[in-house]
Chain A
Amino acid sequence: MKLLIANGHLIDPAAPENTGMNVLIENGRVSAWLRPGETAPEDCEVFDASGLLVAPGFIDMHVHLREPGQEHKETIASGCAAAVAGGWTSVCPMPNTNPVNDNAAITRYMIEQAERAGMANVFPIGAITKSSDGSELAEMGEMKAAGAVAVSDDGRPVPNAGIMRRAMQYARDFGLPVIDHCEDKSLSSGGVMHEGRISLLLGLKGMPALAEEIDVVRDIIIAKETGTHIHIAHVSTKGSIEAVRRAKNEGIPVTCEVTPHHFSLTDAAVNGYFSQRPGRQDGPGTAGPDQHFGEARSSAYDTNTKMAPPLRSLEHLEAILEGIKDGTIDAIATDHAPHHADEKSLEYDKAPFGITGLETAIGLAFDQLVNTGVIGLERLVELCSSNPARIFGLDGRGTLIAGSAADVTMIDPCLNWVYRNSDSRSKSVNSPFDGWHFTGAPVATFVAGKLVYQRKDA
C-alpha cells in the first residue's frame, strides 16, 4: 500500500529540511521524498496536505496512562486516542501504574495494549527502583529488552543520593537515560502550590522553588561523575534552567523538558486569574503585579490549577521562555495526568496533583510560543519530535527521512479552534484550559502510515 502526502510544507529538523515536499509512504515507512511536481507512483493514494505543516510524528516524553490499575481515570486506549487527537504519534507512559511498571511483564503489557488500541505508539518508561519506593533497583535490563526507553520514579523521586548514584551507574550499562522528577520532599512536603506571594495570599502551603533546584543540581553532579544521561522532567524554575544551562556548557549529559502549562500559566491561576487573554500583550508577560489583587473571585482554588511541580510565578515563566528560546530546554512534554472528576472536586489541599494535557499542548505551544514569536515552527518540531526521539534513542522516529517510521503530525497553523473538555477523548477532564481559543491545531495524525486521526472541521 502506497500513500503520498502531497502539497504540504515539510519540516524535518533532523534532515534538515524546511520546504514544500511530498512524502511517499510504503508499508508503514517513508520510502522517498518527491519534489512538488515530481511524478508519484500511479498506484498510490494521495492525502492532500495543502496549507498544512507536515512534521515527523510528535513524541510526548511524559504521560500517565493509568493502566494497569486506575482504568477509571484513563486506559491505554483512551489515552492513545487523546494523544493522536492532540497530534502525538508516540507517548511515553510513566511507571506509576498499579502495580508499578518495574518489570518486563508490565512493560510488555503496556505495549500490547497500545498495539491492540492501534492508535499511538507507546514507549514505556520503567521504574528506577522496585515499586518506586526508592530502595532496591528495578530490573532495568529486562525492561529495556521488553521495550522500555528510559527509567524514572517520576512522582516518587529517589530521595537517597546514594541509590540515585547507583541507579545511574547501572542504567548506563543499558544506555537508558534516567529521568528525574526533581523534588526534595523534605522541602516541599505538605505544599500544594508554588511558595510565593500567591500562596501567602491564599493561605495555602507552598512548595519552594529550591525543592526542585536542589535535586536538579544533585542529579547534574551525579551525571557528571557517572557519565549517565540525566533527563530532568518538567523543569519549572529559573534556578533549574540556569543549572541545566551551565551543565550543558560544561558538556555534562543533561537534557530537560517543559510542560505547556508551565509556559502558559503562573501561580496567579490558583487565585482565579487565568482566563485566556487575547495575544501576548495582555498576557502574563506584561501584566502588572496588580492582577493578583482586588476582588477575591470565586474562581480561586480551582483544583485544575494544582499539579507538581506547581505553576510558578512570572519570573520563572519568563526564564522558561528564555530556555525554550536559547535551546536549554530540549523538549515539550505534557505530563498528561488524568484524574477522575470525583477526586478533583475535593478541597484544594486534598485534591490530587495533575492535569490532562495531550489535546491542548499544540494549541498552547502556538498560542504562547509560535504566534508570539518566541520560536519558529522548525524549533517547535525539534521540541516535540526530533529531540524527544534523540533523547530516548528512538531510531527511525523524530524524522521522516527515507526508511523512517511513517509517523506524521500535520498541523494547520491558521485554524482557529476552541478546546472543550466535553470534546476530549481522555477519560478525564481535569484541564484548566476548557474554553480557551487557539490558532493552530493538529488536524491529521498518521501512525505507521495509517490515518489515526483527522479533525472534522479542518
Chain B
Amino acid sequence: MEKPFRRWDLLGIRGLSAAEINGILDTADNFREVNAREIKKVPTLRGKTVINLFFENSTRTRTSFELAAKRLSADAVNISVSASSVSKGETILDTALNLDAMQPDCIVVRHSSAGVPHQLAKVSKAAIVNAGDGANEHPTQALLDAMTIREHKKKIEGLNVAIIGDIIHSRVARSNIHLLTKLGAKVKVAGPGTLVPKDFEYLIENTLAAETQPANRGPQLEVMPRVEDAICGADVVMILRIQRERQNSAYFPTLREYSIHYGLTNERLDLAKKDAIVLHPGPMNRGIEISSDVADGSRSLILDQVKYGVTVRMAVLYLATGGSAITS
C-alpha cells in the first residue's frame, strides 16, 4: 500500500545500503546530546503517535523504544501479548489493521515469527519498525552495536569482529553480520556445529573483505571451526545469548559443557587484540556464554550498548515518521 506521507519502514538491515546505515548512525549521533541533558526531552515528534506492538516478551527493547519516543515528545502506546486480542483469536493482520485505523505514525513490532513486519508493511499506512522478528532480523540492535563500536573504535571498516554462540537462531547475529559486512568489517562466527552450520557463509554475498590490513584477507564472513579461531586477533567480540531450551532440543548436551567449550572467559578473550571490546545483546546468562569476569571487566561495553539503544531508536523513529537524515 502507498504510504500517504514520506514514511520509511525499517524491516531489516539486509535491504539497506552502506550510505543509509551511515545516515541512521550519523542521525543518532546528533541525538546523543539530548540524552546528556538534564531535561531529556525535545519536541521533535510532538503530535506523532508510536505504537509498540510486542508479541514477544521484552523489557529492554520495549522500554528503550518507549523512552526514545517519549524523549522526542511522541505519544507512545505499548501493547503486549497478554493484553492483546491475539489471544482472542484475532489474526495478526486484523490486529495490525485495527491499530492502523487509529492512525498512528509508526508501529514498532516484535514477533516470534520471521517476516511479520514485512507482512504488516504490505497493508499498513503507518511506518513499520522491526523490533525483532523470529530468527530473521533485529535491526535496531545491530545499529546500537555499530554505534557502540564506532564510539570506541572510531570506525567499522577493516575491523575484525567475532560473533560467538547460537548463530542460526539469532536475529541479532543476522542483522549484525549484514551491517558489519556492508560497512567493510570482517566477521568470523563460531559455536557448536549444530548452531553454526558451515553454510552460514552463504548468508551474504561473500566477497573478499576490504584489505586495509594484511590480517583482513579472506572472505567477509567466515564460519570458524573453533571459538578460539574466531576470537584470535579480533577487535570486537560479540557474544550471543544461549537459549536454555536448545539443550532440550539436543543442540548441545549440557549448559556446563557449553560454558566449558564455547563460553567467553578471560583466557579466551586474551586471544583477541589487547584493546578488543566485548558486546552482548542481553539478557546475559552469566557463567554460561560469558563469565562474570568478562561481563564486568573493563573491556565489556554491555551497558554502553543499552545506553546507545535509546539514541539509535530515537533516530529510527525520527526517520520512520518522515524526518530527514542529519549529518554533522
A residues contacting B by CB (< 8 A) are: 196-197, 200-205, 290, 293-301, 342, 345-350
Contacts and interface: CB of A to CB of B under 8 A. Distances in A.
Interface stretch (B130-138, B208-216, B308-316): B130-138
A293 B118 CA distance: 16
Chain A contact residues: helix, strand, loop or mixed:
loop
B93 interface: yes
B84 to A, nearest CB: 14
B119 interface: yes
9 contacts: A196-B199, A197-B199, A200-B200, A202-B114, A203-B137, A204-B134, A296-B12, A301-B118, A347-B116
Interface centre among A200, A201, A295, A346 (most CB of B within 10 A): A200
B114 A200 contact: no
A290 B207 CA distance: 12
B194 to A, nearest CB: 13
A204 B92 CA distance: 18
A204 B203 contact: no
Nearest to B137: A203
Given A203-B134, A204-B135, A296-B12, A348 B202 contact: no
A348 B113 contact: yes
B203 A201 contact: yes
A194 to B, nearest CB: 12
A191 to B, nearest CB: 12
Contact of A350 (B113, B121, B133): B113
Contact of A296 (B14, B134, B200, B203): B14
Contact of B111 (A200, A202, A204, A347): A347
Contacts of A350: 113
Interface size class of chain B, counting residues whose CB lies under 8 Å from the partner chain: 20 to 34
A204 B205 contact: no
Interface string B85-121: 0000001110000000000000000010111101101
Nearest to B175: A203
A157 to B, nearest CB: 22
B93 A345 contact: yes
A142 B56 CA distance: 51
A342 B91 contact: yes
Nearest to A346: B91
Interface in B135-156: 135-137
A301 B119 contact: yes
A321 to B, nearest CB: 23
B15 A295 contact: yes
Contacts of A348: 113-115, 119
A349 B199 contact: no
Give the top 6 A-B pairs by smallest Cβ distance, nearest first. A301-B115, A203-B136, A296-B15, A347-B113, A203-B135, A197-B202
Contacts of B199: 196-197, 200
Interface string B201-239: 011110000000000000000000000000000000000
A197 B200 CA distance: 8
A119 to B, nearest CB: 33
B118 A300 contact: yes
Contacts of B136: 202-204
Contact of B203 (A200, A205, A298, A347): A200
A298 B121 contact: yes
Nearest to A348: B115
B313 to A, nearest CB: 20
Contacts of A196: 199, 202
A202 B115 contact: yes
Contacts of A349: 113-114, 134
A224 B327 CA distance: 71
B186 interface: no
B279 interface: no
Nearest to B15: A296
Given A298-B118, A301-B114, A348-B113, A203 B174 contact: yes
A53 B77 CA distance: 63
A20 to B, nearest CB: 51
B110 to A, nearest CB: 13
Contacts of B290: none
A409 B118 CA distance: 42
Interface in B163-203: 168, 171, 174, 197, 199-200, 202-203
Nearest to B202: A197
B24 interface: no
Contacts of B14: 201, 296
A55 B159 CA distance: 66
B18 to A, nearest CB: 13
B244 interface: no
Contacts of A298: 9, 11, 118, 121-122
Contacts of A345: 91, 93
A204 B91 contact: no
Given A197-B199, A295-B15, A296-B15, A204 B93 contact: no
A242 B205 CA distance: 30
A350 B55 CA distance: 14
A348 B135 CA distance: 12
Contacts of A197: 199, 202-203
Contacts of A347: 92, 111, 113, 115-116, 119
A294 B168 CA distance: 21
A396 B11 CA distance: 57
A204 B114 contact: yes
B114 A203 contact: yes
Interface in B25-79: none
Given A202-B114, A202-B115, A348-B113, 20 more contacts: A197-B202, A197-B203, A200-B200, A200-B202, A202-B136, A203-B174, A204-B134, A205-B135, A290-B205, A293-B205, A294-B15, A295-B15, A298-B9, A298-B118, A299-B122, A300-B115, A301-B118, A345-B91, A346-B91, A347-B111
